[in-house]
Structure formats: structure tokens, C-alpha cells
Amino acid sequence: MTVPRALGLDSTHCANTLTLADLEFRPTQRFRYEYNFIDGWQLEVRIERLCQVDAAKMYPRCIGGKRAAPPEDCGGAASFMRQLEKYSPVFLQSWLLDLYDLLTQEDKEIPEWEWEVEARQEELDELRYWMQVDRFRRRPINDRLKLYVAGDDTWRQLAEV
């Protein structure tokens, strides 16, 4: 497979073996990485600094970031932003207050009550991502990278939580 776009249409570099070092970037230089051609995910990456390889450390590794990664197959950046707007802190607070009211109501003898709690549990599982969307966690990312480097395909199933 050749590297699409990045080095031009006539590039013969193999995408499976190409490294950032092959591209000879300089500090502060930026490049665009297209993650998903269908949904149009494009990430701008800035080279902060060039470091000597430390044999005691695992590479690649994440040294920082902002926010949780968008959910896979969420429809691209515009769709993600619409979902982010929908699941605003005000929406989440209102939803949690409704759940609190349900759980603390006096009349729990209603047969539908258990079903309602179960349904809310499923919603809560779905909303968990949006409740912590602004939280960035480096360790799970590096755990997944270790699996990836080791050739262990289970990295694909590990969602960032």
C-alpha cells in the first residue's frame, strides 16, 4: 500500500513501514493526518520537539491531549459536534435529576418501576461517554498503544473510558 496524499500521488513509500522520521519534519512543523476518509476525520499534528529514543520507553506513546476521543463511527466532526451540543451539561444534569426523582419516589410498588430503572440503566451506559467527554486520560491510550505495538488485536476492542 502506498501512502495516500501525504507525499503526493507519485509516492512509493509503504504506509505499513513509513515512520515520522522518514518524513523529516522539523520542530513546530505541522501536518494533517486523515484518519477516516469516509467520515472525513482530519487531525492536525504539530511536532513539538525531536527527542532521542530511550530504549527504556515504549514507542509510540501519548504524552498529552485534550478531551476523550470521539466515539468510533459517530459520523465525522460535524456529527460529533451536534451530539456534543445535544448532550450538554444542562441536558445531562436534567437527565440525572429525573433519574434521582425516579429512584427516590415514595411509591415503588408500581410494577413498571423496575422496568423503568432498567431502561434508565441502559441510557446511563450510553450517556457515560458524554458525562466525561472533556476528560482526557493518557494511561488507557498508552495501554492500547502497547497492545498495538505487540501485534495484539485486542487493542481494537478496548474503548477509552
- Spell out the domain ranges in the chain: 26-156
State residue 161's pLDDT score.
45
Q: How far apart are CA 16 and CA 97, in angstroms?
A: 49
pLDDT, tens digit only, all 161 positions of the chain: 344 445 554 556 677 777 878 888 889 999 888 877 788 888 888 888 888 888 898 888 888 888 888 887 888 889 999 999 999 999 999 998 988 887 777 666 665 667 777 778 888 888 888 999 999 999 999 999 999 889 898 888 776 44
Q: Bin 48: left if φ > 0, else alpha if -120 < ψ < 50, else beta.
A: alpha
CA 132 to chain centre: 12
State residue 9's pLDDT score.
47
CA geometry: angle at 136 spanning 21 and 99, to 5°?
A: 155
DSSP-derived secondary structure letter, 154:
G
115: cell is 422496568
DSSP-derived secondary structure letter, 2:
B
CA distances from 82 to 33, 78, 88, 109, 158 (A): 23, 6, 10, 39, 25
Q: Mind giving me the DSSP string for 139-150?
A: HHHHHHHHHHHT
State residue 159's pLDDT score.
62
The 3-state secondary structure of 29-82, one letter per residue: CEEEEEEECCCCEEEEEECCCCCCCCCCCCCCCCCCCCCCCCCCCCCCHHHHHH
Q: Name residue 94's amino acid.
A: S
